[in-house]
Chain A
Amino acid sequence: MTLATDIALKPKDFATDQDVRWCPGCGDYAILAAVQRALAKQGIPPHQIATIAGIGCSSRFPYYMSTFGFHTIHGRAPAVATGLKVARPDLQVWVATGDGDSLSIGGNHFIHMLRRNVDLKVLLFNNRIYGLTKGQYSPTSELGKKTKSSPQGSVDNPFLPMSLAVGAEGSFLGRSIDVDAKTLGDVLAGAAAHKGTALVEILQNCNIFNDGAWDHLSSKEFRADQTIVLEHGKPMVYGANRDKGIRLRGLRPEVVTIGENGVTLDDLWVHDAHDEDPTRAFLLSRMEYPAFPVPVGILRSVQRPVYDQLVNAQVNEQRAAKNANLQALLNGRSTWIVG
């Protein structure tokens, strides 16, 4: 059982003495700081937390966290983390991964982690590029993207990670932009509190190989008009003037202007993060630039059975119900004596 301590923790309590080796200006710095702030706020001490990563720039994350940490192999962090969480349900387990790590080489583990609803907090750094291998298109790169491995433009249709996660039965789906400290903090706090797999997609800039990947959403100039911060139970309003909103016509979302054509606040789609039916979460996951403001915040947060708890419950039930006698086990059902 992870318990908050009485002693107030500070973000620096979650930092290590290792030099952070991301490129200067990398979006990962802001994410690291946000996670350390969120953990300090949560109040669970470093020794009750483990950070597991795959391979890629983002996966260096464990070295910079004062928790227990494991930098594993490419794509496999969800699998290692699943084993750890099943073995040690007392630890809070975070996973740091990227778009290549989780959506390409580790796609299988990614969807099965979500399906099982293992109690893991997953930071999906999405910079739409392979950074550590120096700039190839990734499974979230847009069609037509010119990179070292796609000089005429990528012909590889990308995933929308949140759509994939809805299809994989994800129980907690959050999204934020690396530089949006407020939303990122809120989403991380929600993820930390969630029981089950909490997936946080972080739209992150790679200033070396994909600079400006999310500028259309992250810049102060555009953010208010091209993103929408979801709040549970609130109508979907956005825009620099707070005059735009999303209305749901059947299962078709549309952008409306409040006050125009008789549209009022009451006409807007009210966000229900706890809706058991994933249909609306899927609609949110499809809202893309430029037709829609991109949803950030908590898209979905529902409770359903948690894999590691179920595994351990079965073990505990059997232990309580049966007398585990190793000699009897070795003897089996029928024996005979010689001599």
Chain B
Amino acid sequence: MSPSVTPAKPREIRESVVIRFAGDSGDGIQLTGSQFSAASALAGNDTATFPDYPAEIRAPTGTLAGVSGFQLHFASRDILTPGDRADVLVVLNPAALAANRKWLKPNGILIANADAFQAKNLKMAGFAENPLEDGSLADYQLFQIDLSRLTNDALQGYGLSAKEVERCKNYFALGLVFWLFERNGDLVEEEIRRKFANKPLLLDANLKVFHAGWDYGDNTELFALRYSVPPAQDIAPGTYRSIAGNEATALGLVAAAHKAGLDLFYGSYPITPASDILHTFAGLKEYGVRTFQAEDEIAAICAAIGAAYGNQLAVTGTSGPGIALKSEAMGLAVMTELPLVIVNVQRGGPSTGLPTKTEQADLLQVLYGRNGESPLPVLAARSAGDAFDTAFEAARVAIKYRVPVVLLTDGAIANGAEPWKIPDVDSLPTIETNLLDDAAKLDGQPLLPYLRDAETLARPWIKLGTPGLEHRIGGIEKWDKTGHISYDPQNHHNMVKLRQAKVDAMTAEIPPTRLEGDTQGDVLVVTWGSPYGAALTAVRELRAEGQSVTHANLRWLNPLPPDLDAILQRFRVVLIPEINNGQLVKVLRAAYAMDIQQYNRISGQPLSVAEIRDAIRNVLPHENHFQEKRP
């Protein structure tokens, strides 16, 4: 197959397409989706993805519980979200249709694996009648494909078992949509060759099925039209790759370690959706990365604290339940003032909650969820690519100020991929560790482990193993400067204030808040984390209508940007959309004693452009107010 084949059928040019693949969790949906995204990115489209998969690894085949979805938005313009609703939905069984039909736009293309719509599967998906036959899908352009039969036909003579044949069918579907959207299949073929390098029969079979899917589209009368999404023009020049948030987080931290001249230690206990950070680090030993898969969350952070004491860039990563377990040790890192990065890939809570679904409800937990006055800086990434920069920044600040820093991402950022402009390593700033690594630097004065830098209030990071620099630290309150145990009342008061002052001093690190829109006006939409993309898109759409709407995103959540108070005061309404009950709203109300509007939906799904746009309309001043009628 080749992209140079002249399309025999007419083509329609689209600016953007949202496609959603859905099937059983064993159907290879995530792989199918990722390969389509990679091919779209290589074709020059801007892309954004949203994997939507169940917590069960292999729920019973055909059930709603086992449905795995992958949504991809690709466009010939700059896009910031995986799209609210799909133009194309590919379903491999009835349960996938039942679970995902709500995401398909009216008149959208629905490609269904007709073979799977049999009595047993229909019943498991809760259909009394076959929806492919009862007219209930009349709102869509329905294409029924006998994927299983066609895959089987393509593999006649291969000698594969029925189960093996069945597992190839996602490549038939992929081949078909590649044809439909004129994607270049080289990358897929490369991936198949790599994946099945040691299984020549399966390698041939999957290639054959992929080609068969393409040819089917080309030859069947079913599809009268192909679609083309030209390369995006408004993307900044540079070298790009596709990256998901967890990998970007790991790479940002490795880059920071490199720029600081330190080895990296990662202590972690497997937890969804953070485990990919551990997987990434485990493969990077040649970069001086040591991974410690701990016996529990507590050991994971404590080992990282030990490594920080031993002068490595120490990192621990988890999700909300893990933060709950790490809280006491986070306090120890606050007390001992050691550099540490704590990554929280947020998921639905409380308790086990929704392990594979996204949420932003751990902000108050990381800000306040420890005993005593225990301030620490909190930074949040807004997108997969931004996780690289934010992780790098978190590490830089941790080292500079000798503090534990929390980096918040979430399930949508962690697993969603987007094109990422690869930074030039030489352009990344050097991180000065300023280790106290020689007793001669004391100039004959006694070692004071809690002596503070006048500007940053940071204490020295003392190189262990250095003669003359032996010292003791711990979780008990310490005397200022000497670090000796102290129960002195006034000293405790002073130290509580000092630890707070140290975090407050980090406002010096925060650049001016970037506003997209105006410096003052009717509505300011403030976001943190993954709603960034949907909110900015909504703001752009409303601005195109002439509305006075502006957007700001916060990377720093503690301390808050020093210019934020004044900015908020310049807008008639401030609106914060969050996937929680209004946590940043509480923080800002407390900080600035001002009224702030909130928009919240906590359903485990990213916020959509449409709902944020509606939420903004609802707070626009009355003369502009109108409510879009929505289905």
Residues of A that sit less than 8 Å from B by CB: 16, 18, 45-48, 50, 52, 55, 62-63, 65-73, 76, 78-88, 90-91, 108-109, 112, 311-312, 314-315, 317-319, 321-324, 326-327, 329-332, 334-339
Q: How far is the CA of A78 from the CA of B422 in the complex (A)?
A: 40
Q: Is the CB of B329 within 8 A of A76?
A: yes
Minimum Cβ distance to chain B for residue A71 (Å): 3
- Of A84, A88, A321, A339, the residue contacting B237 (CB under 8 A) is A339
Measured in the bound complex, the distance between the Cα atoms of B266 and A259 in whole Å is 61
Do B284 and A86 have beta carbons less than 8 Å apart? no
Query: What's the dominant secondary structure at chain B's contact region?
Result: mixed
A154 to B289, CA, bound (A): 48
Residues of B within 8 A of A339 (CB): 235-238
Q: A72–B299 Cα gap in the complex (Å)?
A: 12
A70 to chain B, nearest CB (A): 6
Could you tell me if B472 and A330 are in contact, using CB atoms closer than 8 angstroms? no
The answer on a CB contact under 8 Å between B299 and A82 is yes
Output the nearest chain B residue to A62 by Cβ-Cβ distance.
B472
User: Quick check: which of B62-70, B111-119, B309-317 contacts chain A, the rest being far away?
Assistant: B309-317
Contact B286 A91 (CB under 8 A): no
Q: Mark B225-265, 1 if CB is under 8 A from A, else 0.
A: 00000001001111111110000000100110010000101
Q: A47-B468, A69-B474, A79-B294 are in contact. List 14 more A-B contacts (CB 8 A).
A: A47-B465, A47-B466, A68-B309, A70-B474, A83-B303, A83-B314, A108-B296, A317-B285, A319-B286, A330-B423, A331-B239, A335-B241, A336-B44, A338-B232
Q: Are A76 and B298 in contact (CB under 8 A)?
A: yes
Q: How far is the CA of A323 from the CA of B424 in the complex (A)?
A: 18
In the assembled complex, 9 residue pairs joining A and B whose CB atoms fall closer than 8 Å, in A order, are A73-B475, A79-B303, A327-B424, A330-B425, A332-B241, A334-B38, A338-B239, A339-B235, A339-B236
Is B131 in the interface zone, CB < 8 Å from A? no
* Pair B473/A69 contact, Cβ less than 8 Å: yes
B292→A82 contact, CB < 8 A: yes
Please name all residues of chain A whose beta carbon is closer than 8 Å to the beta carbon of B466 when the two chains form the complex.
Answer: 47
Partner of A335, one of B240, B303, B310: B240
Residue from A18, A112, A315, A334 within 8 A of B299 (CB atoms): A112
Contact of B422 among A65, A67, A335 (CB under 8 A): A335
Interface flag for B290 (CB, 8 Å): yes
CB distance from A82 to the nearest CB of B (A): 5
Would you call B286 and A321 a contact (CB within 8 A)?
A: yes
A63 and B306 contacting across the interface, CB-CB below 8 Å: no
Q: Please tell me if B616 contacts chain A, counting CB pairs below 8 Å.
A: no
If A68-B464, A83-B307, A86-B290 touch, whether A336 touches B240 (CB-CB below 8 Å) is: yes
* Shortest distance between the CB of A300 and any CB in chain B (Å): 22
Q: Are A72 and B475 neighbours in the complex by a CB distance under 8 Å?
A: yes
Q: Mark B197-238, 1 if CB is under 8 A from A, else 0.
A: 000000000000000000000000000000000001001111
Would you call B628 an interface residue if the criterion is a C-beta within 8 Å of the partner chain's C-beta atoms? Answer: no
Q: Are A329 and B254 in contact (CB under 8 A)?
A: yes
Residue B452 is within 8 A (CB to CB) of chain A in the complex: no
Q: Which B residues from 154 to 207 make CB contacts under 8 A with A?
A: 187
> Is A83 a contact of B304 with CB atoms below 8 Å?
yes
Question: How far, in angstroms, from A69 to B306 measured CA to CA in the complex?
Answer: 11
User: Would you call A91 and B306 a contact (CB within 8 A)?
Assistant: no
- Please state if A91 and B310 are interface contacts (CB–CB under 8 Å): yes
CA–CA, A83 and B336, complex, Å:
16
Q: How far is the CA of A72 from the CA of B303 in the complex (A)?
A: 11
Q: Which residues of B contact A91 (CB under 8 A)?
A: 310, 464-465
- Chain A residues with CB under 8 Å of B38's CB are 334
| B399: interface (CB < 8 Å) | no
Question: Is the beta-carbon distance between B310 and A83 smaller than 8 angstroms?
Answer: yes
> Does A318 lie within 8 Å of B286, measured CB to CB?
yes
A317 and B290 CA atoms in complex are apart in Å by 13
Whether the Cβ atoms of A330 and B255 lie closer than 8 Å is yes
Are B465 and A88 closer than 8 Å at their CB atoms?
yes
Binary CB contact string for chain B from 448 to 476 against chain A (1 if under 8 A, 0 otherwise): 00000000000000001111111111111
Contacts of A112 in B (CB 8 A): 294-295, 299
The CA of A189 and the CA of B42, in the complex, are separated in Å by 64
Residues of chain A within 8 A (CB-CB) of B322 are none
Answer whether residue B592 sits at the interface, using C-beta atoms and an 8 A cutoff.
no
By beta carbon, the residue of chain A nearest B426 is A327
Q: Is the CB of A80 within 8 A of B306?
A: yes
Whether the pair B284, A329 counts as a contact (CB closer than 8 A) is: yes
